[in-house]
Amino acid sequence: MNKTRITDRGIKVGTLPAGPLDKISDVPGVTVGHSTVRDEYHKTGVTVIIPAPDNLFFNKLTAAVHVINGFGKTEGTVQIEELGSIETPIALTGTLNTGKVADALVRYAIEQNAAEGKGCRSVNPVVGETNDGTLSRGADRPVGYEQLTEAIAAASADFDEGDVGAGTGTVCFGLKGGIGSASRQLVIDGETYTVGALLQTNFGSLDDLTVAGIPAGRRIREIIDSELPPKGYEDKGSCMIIIATDIPLSELQLKRVLKRAVIGLSRAGSFLTNGSGDVVIGFTTANRQPVPGPSVREMRCISNDKISAVFTAAAEAVEESVYNSLSCADPVTANNGSKTVRMRALCEFPDALK
């Protein structure tokens, strides 16, 4: 598997420093796991973001959602929007697997609580999706409980990127897309904090791809014009964006941070067209919400006078995550049940980044 990240190719994004791994897991306690389904007709899977190592249902995290363009089939975002909290890991998968993975998350939460001698009458599973039908026969819906628990068991801080897990069948800017991640660190009143992003990229038109200001898509077009979709090929598809931080933020402040994810997408060349489902789910590991908890709880949050740097961190992390999803992906030939598709990858065109 190709593990060459965009920084390994000599590309630097933005001005803020990255964390030690330059991944969402630089936020303390956050881990990520994948389960990949890869056979003759399927290039799909599930990626799970685990915000903290303890039981989230009884120690919820402050969370928010922002919909950039709503052509999507997410689960659980309505309750996050209403209550400002998250109580399960976040799972990403292919569109038609969404319901099965949501059911699997419910089962996982019930079993986890039962093992701890606790019960729950209701649980809000959080699932995001993009449509991997170009490279996979999505109607077979091959992702469910087995794959979810496999991804959870495999979760770690240093996880793979590219065409793995929920990114196995995705296409980004007419090239092989996938899972990408990045982080940024900033100092507030002498204390270092982290903002991390993880993306499932499945959007964009090749001619629009820009990598840190380099017109990489147009350069690739010049190299292999005859093999790629025609010029003017519609920018359509989706991007799931997960943003994590350990900065103390209120739900409203967190939502403001999530809105800046669009800057990262736009810098990479996305125009967020009609058929694109671009949804941002974010959480902070500060301001946990224990259940049961006090009738009146205290919340710490930074001053709005200091939040602009957090906006910058989120935008930079999202932008670099797009590039990592492309840089770590391998070319693939896939049969989606109706036709065979050959998908080229950014790693095949190093000169396009010079």
Which residues are known catalytic residues? Answer: 238, 276, 278
Tokens 């091959």, residue? 142
12: tokens are 């630097």
Contact 183, 27 (CB under 8 A): yes
Residue 22: half-sphere exposure toward Cβ, Cα within 13 Å: 18
Q: Among 230, 236, 178, 238, which Cα is nearest to 207's?
A: 230
- CB count, 10 Å around CB of 26? 23
Q: Write out the E strands in the chain.
A: 31-38, 43-50, 59-70, 85-86, 90-94, 126-130, 171-172, 175-176, 179-188, 191-202, 237-245, 276-290, 332-335, 340-343
What are the respective helix, strand and coil percentages of the chain, to the nearest 5?
30, 30, 40
DSSP labels, 122-155: ----EEEEE--TTTS-GGG---SHHHHHHHHHT-
Cα angle vertex 214, ends 209, 216, to 5°?
A: 45
